[in-house]
Structure formats: C-alpha cells, structure tokens
Amino acid sequence: MITLTLKRESNIPLDGDVITPDALHDKTNAKIKSTLITWGNKKLPLGEFFNVDGEKSSSITVIGNCDKVKLIGHEMSFGSILIKGNAGYNTGSYMTGGTLEIEGNTRDYLGAMMEGGQIICNGNTGHFLGGAYKGESSGMEGGEIIVHGNAGHEVGGFMRRGLIVVGGNCGDFPGIFMLAGTVVIIGQSGDRAGANMVRGTVVLMKDAPILPSFYENSLLRSPAIDVLLNRISRFGINANPGHTFRRFNGDVNQIGKGEILVCTSKQN
C-alpha cells in the first residue's frame, strides 16, 4: 500500500498523471518521492507535495483535498486508487483497468475516454462525465462509472460502450451523441437527454422533457432493466427494480436506434 498525503495545497494545479499503479507499483519509497510531477509549468519531485508512506504496491491511497490535482489515475491499467478527499479535472481519464474510488467531489471529465475498469465517485462530479475530449468521435469505450452525487452537463457524450450511473441529478444532454452503452440517471435529469444518440440506452428514473426527435412507442417492463437496477442498488444507490418505463426511440436525425427509458412511477 502506498499512501500519499497532500502536504502543500496551492492554487496552481498539479498534473497527477504520475499517480497511478502503473507508474508507482515497482518504485521504492525514495523513488516515489523523487518522481517528477508537473506543477504549473515546472517539474518538481512528488515528495515536495505529498508525504509518501509505503512502497512497491499496486494499491494507492491519496489523502487530502486534491481539488487542484488533475489527472490522477490517468491511463491506469490495474491496481486500485482511493482518494480520500476531492479530486481535480480528468480524474481517471483514459483508464483501461483497475478501480478508482473518490470519497469527495471531482471536477469535469471524470473517466473521460475511459476504456475499462471501474470508477466510483461518492460526491458530486462536473461536466462531461465519462465524456469525449473535444473533437473525438468516440468517448468512453468500456468500464463503469458510478457517481453517488450529482453530475453536470453532457454525461456520457459520444459513449461507445460501458455503464454510467448518476445517483443524483444531472445537467442537460445526458447521452449526447451516444454510440452505444448505457447511462442511468437516478435523480432528476436536465433537458435534451440522448440528443443525437445513434444507439445505446439512457434510463431516466424521473420524468424529464424528451426531445421531439424521439418517438414514444411502448410501455416497457423489462427484466434486463431490473437486473441492471438491482446491480446498481448494490452500490448503495437507491434504485429499486420493478418499474414500468415509457420507451422512446431516436434520435431520428441520426439513425434512430437509440432508446430512452423514462420511469413512469413516482419514487420516494
């Protein structure tokens, strides 16, 4: 177990892309301390910002308010990271495996371009959760992201595979340009869910306005959704199975093969 305790908070952000099991798992304590980390436009030893305990482990705990530490878990492929506190931008971006848990809040682009593994955020997160960086034609390609709190706009934009669950509310455009995969919003979703989605599923557990480019075609009680909701409730999110959903198909301005499921029963 490697424990990194933030000892120096600064307004200038740190690029924490070296805080991954991939980069640290084979390093001695001294080596970890001397690993260079980008601070603003300088590269300084990690030991200047963190107290480092432990060595040679694929499980990392980061303690402190890391709101200004970006890119923790960037491109991680195995092991685990636990952040006891907040995390900054791009946490878990391009992650391909392992688990990443954040006890506090994160900023935008949590799990952006993710390819595999699991991210659990116990607080709130920002915009572009599991999103695609600007210009990319496909975003999240696999893995799962569970957010217990609220999320911002464009959850799961350009998503191609995987699962995103938002336990709280989310902003506008969840599932925009989605190519496939599943987005579940337990709380209140913003407007324009599934805009331009090609395939994939957006599940809204509370009623929200749906764009005219989706046609409502049936009422649905699906065992598959129940299995999914059961699985979600195991993360401690209040997602009871057994509901009936209104099923919308669209976006007809694309090929119209996506679906939005809106829960009909009032909850809680």
The Cα angle at residue 114 between residues 109 and 115, in degrees rounded to 5: 175
DSSP three-state, residue 83: strand
Question: Does residue 215 touch other proteins according to CB under 8 A?
Answer: yes
* Window 46-65: residues binding other proteins (CB under 8 A): none
Question: Does residue 183 touch other proteins according to CB under 8 A?
Answer: no
Question: Does residue 223 touch other proteins according to CB under 8 A?
Answer: no
Least distance from other proteins to the Cβ atom of residue 128, Å: 8
Question: Does residue 121 touch other proteins according to CB under 8 A?
Answer: no
Tell me whether residue 212 or residue 223 sits nearer to other proteins (CB atom). Answer: 212
Question: Does residue 91 touch other proteins according to CB under 8 A?
Answer: no
Counting residues that bind other proteins (by CB under 8 A) gives 39
The Cα angle at residue 249 between residues 245 and 251, in degrees rounded to 5: 135
In order, the DSSP letters of 134-199 are TT-S----S-EEEESS---S-TTTT--SSEEEESS---S-TTTT--S-EEEE-S---SSTTTT--S
**Block residue for tokens 């805080």:** 19
Least distance from other proteins to the Cβ atom of residue 67, Å: 9
Question: Does residue 106 touch other proteins according to CB under 8 A?
Answer: no
Tell me whether residue 177 or residue 245 sits nearer to other proteins (CB atom). Answer: 177
DSSP three-state, residue 81: strand
Cα 35 to chain centroid distance, Å, stands at 27
Question: Does residue 99 touch other proteins according to CB under 8 A?
Answer: no
Question: Does residue 249 touch other proteins according to CB under 8 A?
Answer: no
Question: Does residue 207 touch other proteins according to CB under 8 A?
Answer: no
Closest CA to 120 of 88, 97, 144, 136: 144
Tell me whether residue 22 or residue 251 sits nearer to other proteins (CB atom). Answer: 251
Least distance from other proteins to the Cβ atom of residue 225, Å: 24
- Cα-flanking dihedrals φ and ψ of residue 201, to 5°? -130, 130
Longest dimension (CA), the chain: 62
Please answer whether residues 147 and 171 qualify as being in contact, where contact means their C-beta atoms are separated by less than 8 angstroms: no
List the one residue from 24, 95, 145, 195 that touches other proteins (CB under 8 A).
195
The residue ranges that bind other proteins (CB under 8 A) are 11-13, 15, 38, 40-44, 68, 70, 89-90, 108-109, 127-128, 133-137, 154, 172-173, 176-177, 192, 195-196, 211-213, 215-216, 251-253
